[in-house]
Amino acid sequence: MTKHITHSAIVGLVLFFASLPSLAQAGADTYKAKCQMCHGATGLGDTPAGKAMKAHPFNSPDVLKESDADLVVIIKNGKNKMPAFAGKITDAQINDVLAFIHTLPK
């Protein structure tokens, strides 16, 4: 019985960790499709659209001080010239994008 529980736990962990790259990829794909045009590949807002809209770099103090909950609200409702994404992407996609943003260099 103990062998069966251990085996199940190991299989569960392997499946869980195998799914992590796909979650990161989902966030990267959504970011590329919806965010990169303004925020840039590295999140610095250094694209022509980002400069025109004054997109804040993700490593700027005003962005770094925001909690994840605050960033979710900003993504959903927009802020300044950033459009709202509520109804355009799912809550799961927003969370995936947020997780992806955290992987970008600071």
Q: 45 near 57, Cβ under 8 Å?
A: yes
Task: Assess whether pLDDT exceeds 50 at residue 13.
Answer: no
Q: Is 46 left (phi over 0), alpha (psi -120 to 50) or beta?
A: alpha
Q: Supply φ then ψ for residue 78, to 5 degrees.
A: 80, 170
Fold for 24-101, please state it: Cytochrome Bc1 Complex; Chain D, domain 2 (1.10.760)
Domain ranges of the chain: 24-101
Mean pLDDT of 11-35: 69
Place of tokens 């969370």: 95
**More confident: 23 or 71:** 71
pTM of the predicted model as reported, rounded to 2 decimal places: 0.75
